[in-house]
Structure 1
């Protein structure tokens, strides 16, 4: 269910997506409003869960996580028990940044960040020891061309 946003809401969201650490005064100045209405809008956007958890974005390479793998998974099992176990396994693995269930020939795709190919193999061995998987294909990203958390509002 989408939330109705006016232009001021959209301006506030664009500013927050660029840098959520900005002060309320700075946000109000940028969007051309005063502090109280901006604060009320932000509070309402949080209550409506348009604004979720606030966090920081870390540089994976500077932290030694230089390898990004996209892992394509096919499974022959689709029952609820298997899916629950698979989901628990993914949530327990900090290397998994994203996981998506897909339509088509591939059942799942994972975005996995690790230090190198050996670390990926450790992840892979742990994954297949915990959950039965029919086929796994790992694709190494050679270069990240675009990465953003910003949504077009």
Structure 2
């Protein structure tokens, strides 16, 4: 992994629709070596998927709900049932097992409070939970799917972006 690979990753994180020729021009390579690098980044698992980011307002799921879940069930059978249930809910866009006070945290996107109430009732009927706490985002201040690339093993010390 060198600076050119990092530049390619940064460009693709910003716009995965760029052609290989456009990326090659921006990183100072000819098309074929750039294409090989992109193929290598994919085969080595640095690029796991290329997706389109949909405008949530236009598809009517503008509301973010963060759900903190506690359970007194800490066994593999319960976890399997819970994970399988969560897989069935398209509204769940992120799902994490946590350390600390909360066992699981998920982010759900829905059109409105009524849709969330329907989701909530389905959730609590699908598996035994000891506590469910929901918080509604009032405003999205920062959102990105891009991850920082300055922490890679052969990168220099991470730099703070100047504002």
Q: TM range, normalised to the smaller chain?
A: over 0.9
Inter-partner Cα distance in structure 2 for 1:61 and 1:78: 37
- How much has 1:59 moved relative to structure 2? 1.1
> Where do 5+ consecutive residues of structure 1 fail to align?
none
**What SS is found at the alignment partner of 1:63?**
coil
List aligned pairs for 1:1-153, cutoff 5 A: 5-153=1-149
Inter-partner Cα distance in structure 2 for 1:10 and 1:53: 16
Q: Aligned pair count?
A: 149
Which structure 1 residue ranges, 4+ long, deviate > 6 Å from structure 2? none
Give CA deviations for 1:131-152 in whole Å, capped at 9, x if unaligned.
1000000000000001101111
**What SS is found at the alignment partner of 1:71?**
strand
> Where do 5+ consecutive residues of structure 2 fail to align?
150-163
**Which structure: greater helix fraction?**
1
Inter-partner Cα distance in structure 1 for 2:2 and 2:146: 18
Inter-partner Cα distance in structure 2 for 1:14 and 1:43: 15
- How much has 1:63 moved relative to structure 2? 1.3
**What SS is found at the alignment partner of 1:147?**
coil
Inter-partner Cα distance in structure 1 for 2:104 and 2:117: 18
